């Protein structure tokens, strides 16, 4: 935003116009990026599939179309029929509150489940693929995303199901060697100790509440970006993909 300002410009109205124009340019670029992610990822969605997702990677978290959900929206527009399972995503319930609302609003069949029911869903043969977003991707392909993502990746490996990440190239941080170098926010214990305004955990009990976890690259089948898909993402492959 600073780069678009003219140091010689003193008129406040003109300065506001410059900043507003750049803001809308950023918004337009972001929407175009999300649409391309959807187009590049729709190949993985087949008729009759059951898709599992975690947290919210839709329009409410982005410029309006989404990343992981952009793939589903694009598949829906292509006429594909499939069902989605949305983890509730404790403790802030982004899946239950946001993802299910978005999917229902867009005419996609969705069911919400408790996070700890995911393993039984796999065991029952009701998951064909998992697709989620990402908050940061390290140079080696390790991915930080909402807490609970790692567990789904491990389940995919155990049950031989593909695990996909959908994220823009801006999510890659090539200055971070691997997931060990990604700082994980520890959030307030009140998010867990209180439920519906009532305390459900005894006083003076320690709370472990990381906002994110890190999924190693070897658990990831592909990373879907606006430029294309990185299959079996590894350091050398990612470096050449990001640079091109």
Residues annotated as catalytic (active site), given as ranges? 135
CB atoms within 10 A of CB 185: 11
DSSP per residue, 180-240: GGS--PBPPTHHHHEETTEE-S-TT-----BSEEEE-GGG-SEEE-SS-EEES--HHHHHH
Residue position matching structure tokens 């780069």: 3
* Residues 53 and 87 sit within 8 Å (Cβ to Cβ): yes
Report CA-CA distances (Å) from 8 to 3, 11, 14, 129, 133: 13, 9, 11, 55, 42
CA–CA separation, 28 and 235 (whole Å): 30
**What is d(CA 58, CA 102) in angstroms, rounded to the nearest whole number?**
7
Give the tokens for residue 213. 């976890």
- The span from the CA of 101 to the CA of 122, in Å, is 23
| φ and ψ at residue 231, rounded to 5 degrees | -85, 145
Element (H, E) at 29: helix 12-41
CA distance 23 to 21: 5
d(CA 37, CA 58): 12
């Amino acid at each position: 935003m600073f780069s678009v300002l003219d140091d010689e410009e003193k008129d406040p109205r003109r300065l506001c116009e410059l900043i507003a124009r750049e803001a809308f340019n950023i918004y337009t670029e972001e929407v175009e990026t999300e649409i391309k992610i959807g187009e590049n990822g729709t190949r993985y969605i087949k008729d009759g599939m059951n898709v599992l997702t975690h947290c919210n990677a839709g329009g409410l978290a982005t410029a309006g179309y989404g990343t992981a959900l952009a793939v589903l929206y694009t598949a829906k527009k292509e006429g594909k029929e499939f069902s989605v399972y949305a983890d509730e995503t404790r403790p802030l319930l982004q899946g239950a509150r946001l993802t299910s609302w978005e999917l229902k609003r867009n005419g996609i069949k969705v069911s919400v489940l408790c996070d700890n029911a995911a393993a039984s869903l796999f065991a029952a043969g009701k998951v064909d693929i998992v697709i989620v977003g990402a908050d940061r991707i390290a140079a080696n392909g390790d991915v930080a995303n909402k807490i609970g993502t790692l567990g789904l990746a491990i389940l995919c490996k155990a049950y031989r199901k593909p695990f996909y990440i959908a994220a823009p190239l801006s999510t890659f941080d090539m200055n971070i060697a691997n997931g060990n170098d990604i700082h994980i926010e520890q959030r307030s214990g009140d998010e867990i100790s209180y439920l519906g305004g009532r305390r459900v955990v005894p006083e003076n009990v320690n709370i472990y509440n990381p906002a994110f976890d890190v999924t190693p690259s070897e658990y990831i089948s592909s990373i879907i970006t606006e430029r294309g898909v990185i299959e079996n993402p590894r350091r050398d492959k990612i470096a050449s993909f990001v640079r091109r």
